[in-house]
Amino acid sequence: MRIIIVGGGVIGLGIGWKLSRLGYQVALYERNQVGRGASWAAAGMLSPLAEAHTQEAELLRLGLESSNRYPEWVRELQEESQIDIDYRRKGTLMVALDRDDRADLQHHFEMQKSFDLPVDWLTGNQARTLEPALSPRVVAAIHCPSDLQVNGRLMTTALTVAFQKAGGKLFEQTPVTKINIKDQQVTGIHIDSEFVPAELVIVAAGAWLSQVKGLPKSYQYLIRPVKGQILGLQMDTEPIISHVIYAPDAYLVPRSNGSLVVGATVEEQGFDTHLTAGGVFELLRGAWEALPGIYEFPIVDTFASLRPASRDNAPILGLTPVDGLILAAGHFRKGILLTPVTCDEIAQLVLTGIVSEVIKPFNISRFETLNLS
């Protein structure tokens, strides 16, 4: 069976890797360079505990499942690519800087406990014992010890190598201009005037899914872009923190190479990806309030990209009413976290034809128009 994947972010590359390992002929088309979309911007936090939300129980379950698969995913990926993706198991500290924040955090903690998540409440002093560089203003914290992290850029690079080593064919600077659908069946794709036949097309085009031509009209409104600006600072020779720190207005993610990622804005600005003075200022202010020691650090990286968000902020995974068309998009703020579970489950779907219970709740059918008559 000839399989085409549209989009070379972590999701497209990861699915391509898994399918190529299973022996399928996979061609992946990327309109730019692989991994330079949202995947390049990602801070790489794997934080199902810190990012749990009351109304997102299914998504929490998916995140925890993916997090459980991370150790094996990293082991295989590093072994096959020979690239270290900076997988760290240091946990997250969510901090409060005043009484309002503490009340918010207390509410979050109670919600986490109601899901039976392994988290601990700390006083400001206890938080500073774990991370001495935290501001004296920190009055309380939640410790999420099992949250993980990777370097998203290194993971993208490792996936590119592993995909090609497994036999996958990669076409960069090659936009898919149209997906060909005839009588509710995919027949292939167009690259300008060239037609490339395929029995199965997997669309992993991230925030740009709505711009892929040839898909059913209603898919134009499935995914919206949500802009995120993010910065990289360079720590002194000694890392200033070891945990991921979630402050009220910014998060800080230390890397093993001494860089410190500060993120991220969440903006509804359509397809605009400019860095703005206000965005950068707010991130630095939010980071500095929690960790004053960053003041002298050089800024070594800035980036902005678009998170792919669906209407309910959960991904859209699996079969569609069109035969031979699979979607894997809409991972919003959790695409790096959800990569292992997405890629494993989509590869198993292709292999067996069976939609697993794990991804069943995330099918496109949940957006079918509600019939009120």
Ligand X SMILES: Cc1cc2nc3c(=O)[nH]c(=O)nc-3n(C[C@H](O)[C@H](O)[C@H](O)COP(=O)(O)OP(=O)(O)OC[C@H]3O[C@@H](n4cnc5c(N)ncnc54)[C@H](O)[C@@H]3O)c2cc1C
Quote the DSSP letter at residue 173: S
Q: Which stretch binds ligand X (CB under 6 A): 97-105, 107-115, 285-293, 331-339?
A: 331-339
**Contact between residue 6 and residue 29 where contact means Cβ atoms under 8 Å apart:** yes
Is residue 8 close enough to count as binding ligand X by CB under 6 A?
yes
- x-marked contacts with ligand X along 190-229 as a string, rule CB under 6 A: --------------xxxxx---x---------------x-
Is residue 230 close enough to count as binding ligand X by CB under 6 A?
yes
Distance between CA atoms of residues 248 and 102, nearest Å: 10
Q: What are phi and psi for residue 172, nearest 5 degrees?
A: -95, 170
Is residue 263 close enough to count as binding ligand X by CB under 6 A?
yes
Kindly identify the residues of this chain, within the stretch 278-307, that bind ligand X according to CB under 6 A. Answer: 305, 307
Report, in Å, the least distance between residue 99 CB and ligand X.
Answer: 28
Number of residues that bind ligand X (CB under 6 A): 43
Task: Determine which residue in the list 3, 4, 5, 9 makes contact with ligand X, applying CB under 6 A.
Answer: 9
Residue corresponding to tokens 């036999």: 167
Report, in Å, the least distance between residue 152 CB and ligand X.
Answer: 6
Tokens matching residue 373 = 């008559």
C-alpha closest to that of 194 among 354, 72, 29, 2? 29
Closer by beta carbon to ligand X, 305 or else 320: 305
Helices and strands, number each (H, E), in the chain: 8, 19
SS3 31: coil
C-alpha closest to that of 310 among 210, 231, 211, 234? 210
Task: Determine which residue in the list 176, 200, 326, 359 makes contact with ligand X, applying CB under 6 A.
Answer: 176
Closer by beta carbon to ligand X, 10 or else 326: 10
Is residue 88 close enough to count as binding ligand X by CB under 6 A?
no
Distance between CA atoms of residues 3 and 20, nearest Å: 10
Closer by beta carbon to ligand X, 9 or else 188: 9
Tokens matching residue 279 = 């965005």
Distance between CA atoms of residues 373 and 368, nearest Å: 15
Task: Determine which residue in the list 43, 200, 322, 346 makes contact with ligand X, applying CB under 6 A.
Answer: 43
Is residue 247 close enough to count as binding ligand X by CB under 6 A?
no
Closer by beta carbon to ligand X, 15 or else 139: 15
CA angle 142, 145, 149 (to 5 degrees): 110
Closer by beta carbon to ligand X, 140 or else 294: 294
Task: Determine which residue in the list 16, 37, 91, 286 makes contact with ligand X, applying CB under 6 A.
Answer: 37
Is residue 81 close enough to count as binding ligand X by CB under 6 A?
no
Report, in Å, the least distance between residue 263 CB and ligand X.
Answer: 5
Q: Which stretch binds ligand X (CB under 6 A): 24-32, 74-82, 274-282, 352-360?
A: 24-32
Q: What are phi and psi for residue 285, nearest 5 degrees?
A: -65, -50
C-alpha closest to that of 307 among 342, 286, 341, 331? 331
Q: Which stretch binds ligand X (CB under 6 A): 38-46, 97-105, 116-124, 283-291?
A: 38-46
Q: Which stretch binds ligand X (CB under 6 A): 194-202, 294-302, 328-336, 365-373?
A: 328-336
Is residue 317 close enough to count as binding ligand X by CB under 6 A?
no
Cα torsion angle, 47, 53, 55, 57, sign? positive
**Contact between residue 229 and residue 264 where contact means Cβ atoms under 8 Å apart:** yes
Distance between CA atoms of residues 124 and 370, nearest Å: 48
Is residue 337 close enough to count as binding ligand X by CB under 6 A?
yes
Tokens matching residue 62 = 């998916």
Report, in Å, the least distance between residue 192 CB and ligand X.
Answer: 12
Binding site for ligand X (CB under 6 A): 6-12, 29-32, 36-39, 41-45, 175-176, 204-208, 212, 228, 230, 263-264, 305, 307-308, 329, 331-337
